[in-house]
Structure formats: structure tokens, C-alpha cells
Structure 1
């Protein structure tokens, strides 16, 4: 599928407001990829598809999680997490994406994971800080991203965890593992 057809298909899956977010993630992913030495085309591809399943019915996402062998523990956590691994499945099976790095960036853009690749970090961070985002701390994340991919991402995870705690929600273990892994590696790099 060519880029224009893919964009049209993804845009049809979401409301206009979310499409504007996706455009912001695309722009920010390309910018971060150039800044931190990643392939901008691969980063843009992951960004185009990162929210493809975001507005699917819960039952449709749940069926894919159950039937396609996606991590069943997802079903115990906030449904906001589900669209990322389902989106990676859709990117592969409906859009023909075979690049495992792109698929992983889609899969982990909401939760993170230990040993995140540079592509994982770029798409996750772009999703946090694209120009349309407006929440307490986003300017600090954007400022950090000018120099430090990992420090900006830690600030993003801190923001998510703080928000989830304030809402009384459970925190997905991969998010905590991702944050802890980034902190550990940042401290090791400083020594």
C-alpha cells in the first residue's frame, strides 16, 4: 500500500481531532528521528499507524487480543493501552508492514518496555509531546527532547504515572519497567 492510500485509510479510522494528533506525531517523529539519528521514513510510518485502532470498539480490540495471542494481561488494565498492540497487529496484517522495528514502535508507544529501541523511544516521545498536546509538564518534556531523548521520555513516563496515580488507576507493569530501565541506563551513562 502506498503512503497516500495508507494515510487515507488511517484517517478514516478516527475523528478529525485524533487525525490532527496523528499529523502532529508524524511531524514530531520525523523531527526526533533526524535529531537522534534514526530513519525519518520508518519513524513516520510508525507514527501514521500508531493510533489506527484507537477508536475501535472495545469488543473488537478484545477479540484481537484474545484470538491473536496478544498479551492477555492487557485485558486487566486500562483499555487505553489496548490500541497499541492491536494497532501493531493491524499494521502488519491489514497494511502489510513487515519492519519489526516499526511494529514494535507502534506496539509499545503507550506502555514503553525495557530495552526500548531508539525507534520505540522516538514514537513514544512524539506521542507525548506533539504540538497539539497541552498538559502540565509538556513544555519541560519538549525542552528536554532538544538534547536528551531518554531524559525527555523519563519525564513523559513520570507524567503518565502521576496522572494514573491521581486517577486511582492501575499502572501497567511495562510502563514502570520502561521508566526504571531508562533511569538506570541514564545513571550508568553519567558515571
Structure 2
């Protein structure tokens, strides 16, 4: 699928601000791909579709998760803000025939991260986190790291996310902890 076609598909499913965010994530993902390598076409396609289900009503996503054998029901034990990535990863296959596992994985985990993230997973995860429209504590540090070390930038984003959720007494999806722990071990050379 051509990027222009993907953009036209996604646009009516998002609010104006969410669509603008999506375009910034796609641009950021391409910039990261230029630094760290990977298939520009696949990464850009994943970025365009990453928030495809973001504006769907929570009740509709909940029902979809309950009825979908491809998604774990434990998603429903966590905030509905986490549901749109996994839901979109299935919808793009069913509705548009995008069956590429790398693209689907990057969309699935772009909010939570996961253990054994691929380069594409990390690029979409970091691009979504650092795109130029975002502004929150710690983002500049992650943006700087993303210029030279994708692993470190991913770890920082996970660390910041966990700290933020804990400060709000919110639950943290297990995949986020698994990703953080794995990258912490890699960065620290062990435990």
C-alpha cells in the first residue's frame, strides 16, 4: 500500500489533532529510520496506521477485544488508552489486508513497548513518544538520545512512562515492565 493511500484511509478515522500527530509521528519515524536503518516504506506505513483505532469508542474496542481471538483479554484489566494499538494491529489486517507481522507488531506495542522489541517496534515507539508536538517532563532527554542510541531512547521513554504512571497510582501494563527490565539488563550488562 502506498503511503498517500494509507494517509487517506486513516484521516477520516481521526480527529484533526490526532491526524496531525500521526503525520508528525510518520515524519519522526522516517528521520529515525534514516539514522538507524530499516525499511522506510514499512516503518512509515506502521507510523501512519499506529493510531488508526485511537478515536474509536472504548466500548466498541472492549467488545472487539472480547470477540477477537488474536488479542489477550487481559488488556481489559488496564486503561482503555492502551487498547487502540492492539485493536489497530488486527483491524489493518482484516480491513486492508496488511498482514506484515513487523508492521502489525510495531502498531500493537507502540504505547506499551514489549520484550524483544525489533528495530521497527522501537522506531515507532520512540517516534510516537518524541514527535515535535509533544511536550512533557523528560522528553528533551529522550529526543537527544534518539539522535544516536535507539535502545537508550526506548529505555528512557519506558522509564519515564513507568515513573509517570506510578506517580498517578495507575496500573502499568506488564509488557511495559518486561520491556523496561530487558533494556535495563542490556544497558547495565546484567541485572
TM-score, structure 2 normalization: 0.95
Between the aligned partners of 1:131 and 1:20, the Cα distance in structure 2 is 11
Contact 1:144 1:152 in 2 (8 A): yes
What is the CA distance between 1:3 and its match in structure 2?
A: 3.0
**After the TM superposition, which residues 23-102 of structure 1 pair with which residues of structure 2 at under 5 Å, given as runs?**
23-69=23-69, 70-102=71-103
1:131 aligns with 2:102: no
**After the TM superposition, which residues 137-176 of structure 1 pair with which residues of structure 2 at under 5 Å, given as runs?**
137-176=138-177
Between the aligned partners of 1:40 and 1:48, the Cα distance in structure 2 is 12
Deviates more, 1:79-88 or 1:153-162: 153-162
Between the aligned partners of 1:36 and 1:46, the Cα distance in structure 2 is 16
1:109 aligns with 2:100: no
Unaligned runs of 5+ in 2: none
Q: Deviations over 1:23-60 (max 9, x none)?
A: 11100111111211111111100000000000101111
Between the aligned partners of 1:162 and 1:65, the Cα distance in structure 2 is 27
Between the aligned partners of 2:2 and 2:146, the Cα distance in structure 1 is 31
Q: Aligned pair count?
A: 189
Contact 1:6 1:95 in 2 (8 A): no
Alignment partner, residue 8 of structure 2: 8
Q: Deviations over 1:52-104 (max 9, x none)?
A: 00010111111111111211100000101000100101111112111100100
Pairwise CA RMSD of aligned residues?
1.2
Unaligned runs of 5+ in 1: none
Contact 2:6 2:45 in 1 (8 A): no
Alignment partner, residue 22 of structure 1: 22
Which runs of structure 1 show a deviation greater than 6 angstroms over 4 or more consecutive aligned residues?
A: none
